[in-house]
Structure 1
Amino acid sequence: MDPTGAYEVLRLTITTILVACAPILAVALLVGLVISFIQALTQIQEMTLTFVPKIIAIFGVLALTLPFIFSTLSRLSNRVFDLIVSGGV
């Protein structure tokens, strides 16, 4: 495999990982911002108030987006396996 092909596989892998993780990271960011805003307004500095809603939101989004994540990762694996079969790797 030439360096261009290796870079293409790496670029595709990194892009796929970012796309698959984006919904979960976005929800974690939004929930964290909302909770910190509420804490700043009410001056409640409880540590569990930060983590528990964020964990619940992350698990909820993970349950909803699991088919999307699976299809994204399976497309990547099919493409890499096709490269292996064709002798591109």
Structure 2
Amino acid sequence: MTEAQLYDTLRQALWTAVLLSTPLLTVALVAGVSIGLFQALTSVQEMTLTFVPKVAAMLIVFWVSMSFMTSTLVAFFTERIVPLISGG
């Protein structure tokens, strides 16, 4: 494996990681901001109010986007990693 192949594979792996984490991080951001806004508007400062809905929303999005995540990872490994291992 050349140095260029290594850097290209690393770049592609990092991009795949960004693609996989985007749905969860987006939902966590939107849920956190909306809950924080709700708490600021109503002066309710309950700690479980910030944690439980955010985790529930992230679990739902993870469950919905699991097929996308799986297909993205499988495509990365079959198109990039397996040919590198086999020497092709």
TM-score bracket, shorter-length normalisation: over 0.9
Q: Secondary structure at the match of 1:45?
A: coil
In the alignment, what sits opposite 2:43? 43
In the alignment, what sits opposite 2:14? 14
In the alignment, what sits opposite 1:70? 70
**Aligned residue runs from structure 1 range 20-31, under 5 A:** 20-31=20-31
Bigger relative contact order, structure 1 or 2, given CA contacts below 8 A and separation 6+? 1
Aligned partners of 2:61 and 2:68: how far apart in 1?
11
TM-score (norm 1): 0.93
RMSD of equivalent CA atoms: 0.9
Report the count of equivalent residues.
87
CA-to-partner distance for each residue in 1:40-65, whole Å, 9 max, x for gaps? 11111110000000000000000100
Aligned partners of 2:72 and 2:55: how far apart in 1?
23
Aligned partners of 1:17 and 1:10: how far apart in 2?
11
Aligned partners of 2:37 and 2:62: how far apart in 1?
24
Aligned partners of 2:10 and 2:62: how far apart in 1?
25
Aligned partners of 1:35 and 1:7: how far apart in 2?
40
Segments ≥4 residues shifted beyond 4 Å: none
TM-score (norm 2): 0.94
